[in-house]
């Protein structure tokens, strides 16, 4: 309960848990208290209560020094049987030897309070002076030195003459441990002549799409491998009883090593191949050629990540001249031919649109479409069709993203909500429909023009030479 109006607090019973005493005192200091509060703790001198109060004060000191700072979470230590018996017997003699007297007077009570204040002050100063280190702090009040071990004070015995010290080496905190190197040294030891195990030649994978000169490179690699196998076989017999040094002359006859000219030729052939090109780069190259054609290499290079235009051009020359060496050549070329066919078709439609617009004086307002009859109903108006065809010719046929951007920016289509809400696919399909219709119309006009020219040539024949001579005689 909250004692908001009490000015005195009396604690008749003392607990070993100091926090409970503090909580009982805090109840008289709640919100609303305006008077100074005096706390009286009743304790009997020469009894176990003295030990309880002293133990509670030590707990408060430990709480203020460590626990409140969050650096220690000490576990509660249970009192042993001997400690409880010692606390009970404490002050028993003083109790039995107490003098019999009359009831206490006011003077006795004042003297008792003064003596209690003096005792509390003295105990507090003793606690602060004795418990000066957290390392040797105990709740029982028995201070122990850090240098005491099994009843012996080692601090007093440590003299300069008989001092013992251990010199420890400097600790290495970082080492580069190579497991492969360890096992390599353990398994492949050095031979008597100072030579270790022969190293195998560099085995580089000759992929078909990297276009190595395999016909000239493979014999050099086989010759180098035979020399390595000969030296490896001699090294494996190094512990045999009849093992001897390596015979260079015999090796030159059976498995000669590569000469300086052959090593230089090998490095040159390896450098001529496209070692930095991966399968992903080849697929991107084929995709770029499929989309942009084999002649537009700058755009093809944009599809191949990490390659310049010169590198792409160099690879394109090797690809189209030696494509039959690749295992997937048929599939690649089929994709490229289909892409080039689409590009050719796109170019034909763009040419038909250009020809149609060239024949119309003002195509933005006068362009007409031959629907082969009455114009079918469509949400696209004749004005929007004219705009799409003319703008597609202006930005480039097939660039539907730019066409959509121009449609949304056009002032002429400001109130045409249907046009402004079309995506790239829908606009592209509408332009392709109109382009195919224009191409058909242009083919019909061309065929009619050819027929007219053929009829005109047949009606005006040239006279024969004999008829022309006779007419001159007449």
Point out the least confidently predicted range of 17-31, 109-123, 361-375, 376-390: 17-31
Point out the least confidently predicted range of 76-80, 109-113, 137-141: 137-141
Does the pTM of the predicted model rise above 0.85? no
Q: Is the pLDDT of residue 77 over 60?
A: no
| E strand spans, 323-441 | none
Is the separation of the CB atoms in 217 and 266 below 8 Å? yes
Q: Is the pLDDT of residue 380 over 70?
A: yes
Classified as helix, coil or strand, 41 is: strand
Residue 196 lies in a domain: no
Provide the domain count of the chain. Answer: 4
* 170-207 per-position pLDDT tens digit: 665 555 666 776 666 656 554 444 456 788 887 778 88
Q: What is the mean pLDDT of residues 428-440?
A: 92
- 13 and 121 share a domain? yes
Q: CA 144 to CA 141: how far, in whole Å?
A: 9
Point out the least confidently predicted range of 149-153, 164-168, 312-316: 164-168
Contacts of 206 (CB under 8 A, 6+ apart): 212, 214, 217, 218, 273
- 300 and 382 share a domain? no
- 318 and 391 share a domain? no
What is each CA distance from 207 to 39, 123, 312, 360, in whole angstroms? Answer: 95, 91, 18, 57
Range of the domain at 400: 353-458
- 214 and 265 share a domain? yes
Q: CA 1 to CA 24: how far, in whole Å?
A: 9
Contacts of 140 (CB under 8 A, 6+ apart): 55, 83
CATH of the domain at 237: 1.10.1040
CATH of the domain at 302: 1.10.10.60
- 261 and 372 share a domain? no
Please give the structure tokens belonging to residue 258.
């590569």
Residue 464 lies in a domain: no
Q: What mean pLDDT value characterizes the chain?
A: 77
Q: CA 111 to CA 107: how far, in whole Å?
A: 6
* 218-261 per-position pLDDT tens digit: 888 888 888 888 888 888 887 777 777 888 888 888 888 888 89
The half-sphere exposure of 381 on its side-chain side, counting CA atoms within 13 A, is 11
Q: Is the pLDDT of residue 446 over 50?
A: yes
Q: What is the pLDDT of residue 248?
A: 84
Q: CA 367 to CA 385: how far, in whole Å?
A: 9
Is the separation of the CB atoms in 285 and 319 below 8 Å? yes
- 265 and 364 share a domain? no
Which of 42, 31, 37 shows the shortest CA–CA distance to 6?
37
Cα distance from N-terminal residue to C-terminal residue, the chain? 154
């Amino acid at each position: 309960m909250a004692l908001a109006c009490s000015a005195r607090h009396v604690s008749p019973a003392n607990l070993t848990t100091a926090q409970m005493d503090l909580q009982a005192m805090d109840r008289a200091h709640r919100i609303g208290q305006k008077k100074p509060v005096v706390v009286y703790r009743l304790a009997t001198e020469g009894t176990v209560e003295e030990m309880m109060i002293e133990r509670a004060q030590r707990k408060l000191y430990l709480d203020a020094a460590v626990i409140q700072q969050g650096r220690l979470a000490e576990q509660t230590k249970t009192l042993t049987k001997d400690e409880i018996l010692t606390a009970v017997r404490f002050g028993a003699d003083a109790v039995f030897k107490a003098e019999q007297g009359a009831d206490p007077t006011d003077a006795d009570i004042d003297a008792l309070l003064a003596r209690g204040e003096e005792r509390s002050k003295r105990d507090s100063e003793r606690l602060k002076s004795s418990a000066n280190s957290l390392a040797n702090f105990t709740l029982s009040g028995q201070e122990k030195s850090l240098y005491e071990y099994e009843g012996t004070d080692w601090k007093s015995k440590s003299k300069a003459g008989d001092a013992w010290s251990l010199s420890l080496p400097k600790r290495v905190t970082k080492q580069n441990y190579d497991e492969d190197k360890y096992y390599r040294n353990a398994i492949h030891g050095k031979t008597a002549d100072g030579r270790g195990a022969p190293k195998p030649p560099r085995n580089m994978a000759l992929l078909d799409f990297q276009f190595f000169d395999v016909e000239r490179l493979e014999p050099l690699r086989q010759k180098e491998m035979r020399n390595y196998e000969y030296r490896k076989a001699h090294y494996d017999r190094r512990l045999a009883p009849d093992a001897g040094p390596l015979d260079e002359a015999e090796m030159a006859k059976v498995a000669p090593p590569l000469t300086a000219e052959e090593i230089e030729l090998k490095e040159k052939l390896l450098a001529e191949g496209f070692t930095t090109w991966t399968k992903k780069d080849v697929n991107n190259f084929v995709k770029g050629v499929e989309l942009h054609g084999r002649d537009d290499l700058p755009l093809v290079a944009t599809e191949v990540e990490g390659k310049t235009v010169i590198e792409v051009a160099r690879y394109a020359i090797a690809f189209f001249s030696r494509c039959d060496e690749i295992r997937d050549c048929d599939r690649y070329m089929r994709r490229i031919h289909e892409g080039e066919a689409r590009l050719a078709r796109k170019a034909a439609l763009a040419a038909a649109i250009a020809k149609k617009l060239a024949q119309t004086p003002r195509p933005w307002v006068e362009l007409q479409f031959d629907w082969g009859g009455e114009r079918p109903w469509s949400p696209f108006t004749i004005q929007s069709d004219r705009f799409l065809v003319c703008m597609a010719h202006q930005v480039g046929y097939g660039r539907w993203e730019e066409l959509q951007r121009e449609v949304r920016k056009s002032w002429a289509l400001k109130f045409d909500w249907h046009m402004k809400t079309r995506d790239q696919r829908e606009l592209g399909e509408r332009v392709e429909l109109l382009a195919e219709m224009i191409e058909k119309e242009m083919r019909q006009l061309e065929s009619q023009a050819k027929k007219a020219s053929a009829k005109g040539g047949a009606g005006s024949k040239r006279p024969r030479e004999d008829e022309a001579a006779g007419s001159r005689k007449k």
